Structure 1
């Protein structure tokens, strides 16, 4: 199948990606450079030396290594996991989700072009479906870039190869895609009812920041422990995946379920929305 044929069949997907190609390229380069830096630091400096010999990092630090279990940030899987839960990693993911989520519906509603799109004719379901596909494609590309960079780093370092199974790297990457989808679903629901891009961007940042804060507080303060179940970061545990080499299927299912629920709500809300108001 030729590229031209695909473009004709999915014009809104390619248009959304083409319009943001420079932003996506910058995000991909940033992701590769950042994860390469994390790999270099992890393979060069023993993890225990970063926190002082014999010292055990506080349990709250598990939030930074992407672990709910026994994986310490002062370990090879913990440090690599920190590269997949670092605020910079989160910011790159949220930038893609926020930009493409806002473009799904809210941006056209704000600019007044949504009515024109509907008269081409393009159904509401097709509009949202193709722009959702563009958002998910961008998120998969970002997570693939991070996964491949870490996999290459692990393959080139004997110490990392001994501590991190290659299957764990790809398990963490799959979990990253599920995490992005978990946030994308609710963001698209906001876009489906909003007339302002700023509202969608704000919701994206709020979902990410509040979710991380809830998980951190729950790990740091035992009375708040039940709050961890409300955070996507409780289920997004790349440190555990890197250490054990397996996909935490229960966590992945929860993340996917939230994304599906948000996406279903987005379609429902857009169908019922009065586009003229």
Structure 2
């Protein structure tokens, strides 16, 4: 192991094609959302005849407040909570989190790494850094695509401040970190790549479902606090032009707690396959 951060560089190099594909895919998708938003006025979606979308549709625009999907911030927010956007984020988190520990244990290659002068903490730290960098790259790509689109479209420029675009991007990074922590903890404790990927997908899918149910059914409203989508609200950020720092802190705090748990687990576990 020579050079600085060899494990992080190796993790990125091995998945460079996937990383490039995810970054390009998310940028192109958000650019398409911007194009669609500029060609269809919000009122044409639900507002014909004075109708307004049900309040539960705020879940699809990434809002806990008054931002309707039948608005420019709501339509752009829908692109940042779309299943495709979520799937790309989950792909990055699940793939690199599984490779952090569990994949090497499953393949029996973890012992080859440990015979070199590499501590367990360094192994996990560098691979965690690789995952964080990839999540940052994806959200930067999505944010820049939306930012350029808003800057070039007069109708969007009047309705969505650039500060809101960057606030939504920062929230997206916080959302990725929120999933990263638990995924790494499962990887640090597990012996199967599939279990880590499955857990990551379950967290994303179940989180969205819980938030939707909580917004649709008053009796289930308290459940919204356990969903990351209650705190990841790009529609609100796009509309108001500010980062909801309390919600961002919750997302990052959950991620940090998961990472700390992962370090504790990997320090004590048996790494034999």
Unaligned runs of 5+ in 2: none
User: Which residue in 1 is equivalent to 2:218?
Assistant: 222
User: Which residue in 2 is equivalent to 1:82?
Assistant: 78
Residue 100 of structure 2 contacts residue 184 of structure 2 at CA under 8 Å; is this kept in 1? yes
User: Which residue in 1 is equivalent to 2:6?
Assistant: 11
Query: Is the partner of 2:3 in helix, strand or coil?
Result: helix
1:197 CA drift (Å): 0.2
Residue 164 of structure 2 contacts residue 240 of structure 2 at CA under 8 Å; is this kept in 1? yes
Which one of 24, 33, 52 corresponds to residue 29 of structure 1? 24
Q: TM-score, normalised by structure 1?
A: 0.97
Q: How does 1:172-183 map to 2 (within 5 A)?
A: 172-183=168-179
Structure 1 distance, partners of 2:36, 2:45, is 10
Structure 2 distance, partners of 1:263, 1:196, is 18
Structure 1 distance, partners of 2:65, 2:197, is 32
Q: How does 1:182-193 map to 2 (within 5 A)?
A: 182-193=178-189
Greater shift in the superposed pair: 7-16 or 26-35: 7-16
Structure 2 distance, partners of 1:72, 1:12, is 45
1:52 CA drift (Å): 3.6
Residues 103-133 of structure 1: CA deviation (Å, up to 9, x unaligned): 0000100110111111111100000000000
Which one of 118, 125, 128 corresponds to residue 124 of structure 2? 128
User: Which residue in 2 is equivalent to 1:239?
Assistant: 235
Unaligned runs of 5+ in 1: 1-6
User: Which residue in 2 is equivalent to 1:4?
Assistant: none
1:8 CA drift (Å): 1.3
2:247 matches 1:256: no
